[in-house]
Amino acid sequence: MRASKIHFLSLDDTLKKKLLAWAQQYNEIIWLDSNAHVHKYSRYEAILAVDAFTSVKTDQFGAFDKLKEYQSITTDWIFGYLTYDLKNDVEKLSSNNFDGLDFPDLYFFQPKKIFLFTHDSVELLYLNVVADKMDSDWQEILLTEIPEISTSEKNQFKICERTTKKTYLKKVNQMLQHINRGDIYEANLCQEFFSEFASIDPFAIFFHFNEISKAPFAAFLKLDHYFALSASPERYLKKEGKNVISQPIKGTAKRHKTNTEDALTAKNLAEDPKERSENIMITDLVRNDLSRFAEKGSVNVDELCKVYTFEQVHQMISTISCTISPQINSVEILRNTFPMGSMTGAPKISAMQIIEELEDSKRGLYSGAIGYFSPEADFDFNVVIRSILYNSNKKYISFSVGGAITASSIAENEYQECLLKANAMMKVLGASFD
């Protein structure tokens, strides 16, 4: 059982920094931030969950069954992540590429303390075992001194490519051969950038990252020595009552300094036949995934190829929804749609097999999902893209980028799109390429 208290206020950057600075005392932290992106599917402006009462951490084998058991027994708020490599629990696949991060494949926890922010209030939800701390914690948060967050000093480490440009171009052409043979229609090909023996301040990096990106599905995750600093623009899947929605992204264009040029770029993206083709293929894949558990005739494309503008880039997003029977288990919904189509390809299984063959790194949390389940078994998960991953014990920093390869892809253009997506991570890390 949880005790509840509501305070009426607006969430600003100062309070965000106080909250996360206060939260650093705990080994388990998840901060989910919409950055005031308001749309009809929004429920919370931000959520902070800290301090595990119980948890589940596992490898890929039987992971969804273990999550299903944990969620059903707990019947409470649980927060955590799913790595891309849970594909191996869904299909007969494997992950044998290099893994420098060594994150568990699945990690969820039941927080003792939760803060749910709407546009004009925050609700504190504390487990009864710590309910007596609610008022003193809130006062402590308000009095917390914000540590100095410096973004001017360059870090003393180099970022390396796991895959050289020459090799990446070769891999794109190999992917095109698979497409031309009819093995697949589209696949997401990714590459890792990394640094070894490097130390960062995740708190400072996240706030700098969030300030320059202002993404609608941003996340700060700390689970022991595993960190994810995410400026994700993409929702994977949300369930609220009988309604389930997915919002895949396919199609990217850079921002420009002048309004005229920027508007023209967004217009060109909306009309680009290659980008629309990528998006429509993945929309069809998501429709097929949702139809596995949706009520008959309820799968609907609410928005197709709509261009949204973010701080760094324009993105093409589609919204697919359905209704479900109350008897459908929430974890089964995830199992039936995972991994998300925007990070795999079509047909999905063939695309994942080819991705494993061509990529040089295990994806891990990259192109996985961070989010939560509510006590009512509703859930909301992002797609882990535009994210910096960090293992503080190994002092290993990683971020990956990629794009959809279709029959009309040009290898050099795909590589340049990767660099565009990598730009924000490089900027916030203050590092340089080796």
| Residue 427 belongs to a domain | yes
In a domain, 274, yes or no: no
* Per-residue pLDDT, 419: 92
Find all residues with CB under 8 Å of 153, minimum gap 6, and list them. 430
Task: Confirm if 51 and 22 have CB atoms less than 8 A apart.
Answer: no
| 170: CATH | 3.60.120.10
For residue 319, is it within any domain? Answer: no
**Residue at 139 is within a domain:** yes
Looking at residue 151, its pLDDT comes to 53
Q: What are phi and psi of 406, to 5 degrees?
A: -125, 180
- pLDDT in the model for residue 41: 84
Is 13 within a domain? yes
- The total number of structural domains that make up the chain: 1
- Residue 350 within a domain: no
* Pick from 91, 84, 61, 80: nearest CA to 368: 84
- How much is the pLDDT for 154? 60
pTM for the full model? 0.96
- pLDDT tens-digit profile, the chain (434 residues): 899 999 999 999 999 999 999 999 999 999 999 999 877 788 899 999 999 999 999 999 999 999 999 999 999 999 999 999 999 999 999 999 999 999 999 999 999 999 999 999 999 999 999 999 999 999 999 999 988 766 545 666 799 999 999 999 999 999 999 999 999 999 999 999 999 999 999 999 999 999 999 999 999 999 999 999 999 999 999 999 999 999 999 888 889 889 999 999 999 999 999 899 989 999 999 999 999 999 999 999 999 999 998 888 899 999 999 999 989 999 999 999 999 999 999 999 999 999 999 999 999 999 999 999 999 999 999 999 999 999 999 999 999 999 999 999 999 999 999 998 998 899 899 877 77
66: containing domain: 2-145+155-238+355-433
Q: Which are the catalytic amino acids?
A: 234, 250
Quick one: pLDDT at residue 157?
79
How high is the pLDDT of residue 385?
Answer: 96
pLDDT for the residue 150: 63
Distance CA 345, CA 186 (A): 5
Q: What is the 3-state secondary structure (H, E, C) of the chain?
A: CEEEEEEECCCCHHHHHHHHHHHCCCCEEEEEECCCCCCCCCCCCEEEEEEEEEEEEECCCCHHHHHHHHHHHHCCCEEEEECHHHHHHHCCCCCCCECCCCCCCEEEEEEEEEEEECCCEEEEEEEHHHHHHHHHHHHHHHHCCCCCCCCCCCCCCEEEECCCHHHHHHHHHHHHHHHHHCCCCEEEEEEEEEECCCCCCHHHHHHHHHHHHCCCEEEEEEECCEEEEEEECCEEEEEECCEEEEECEEEEEECCCCHHHHHHHHHHHHHCHHHHHHHHHHHHHHHHHHCCCECCCCCEEEEEEEEEECCCEEEEEEEEEEEECCCCCHHHHHHHHCCCHHHCEECHHHHHHHHHHHCCECCCCCCCEEEEECCCCCEEEECCCCEEEEECCCCEEEEEEEEEECCCCCHHHHHHHHHHHHHHHHHHHCCEEC
Q: Is 196 within a domain? A: yes
Q: Confirm whether 422 is domain-assigned.
A: yes
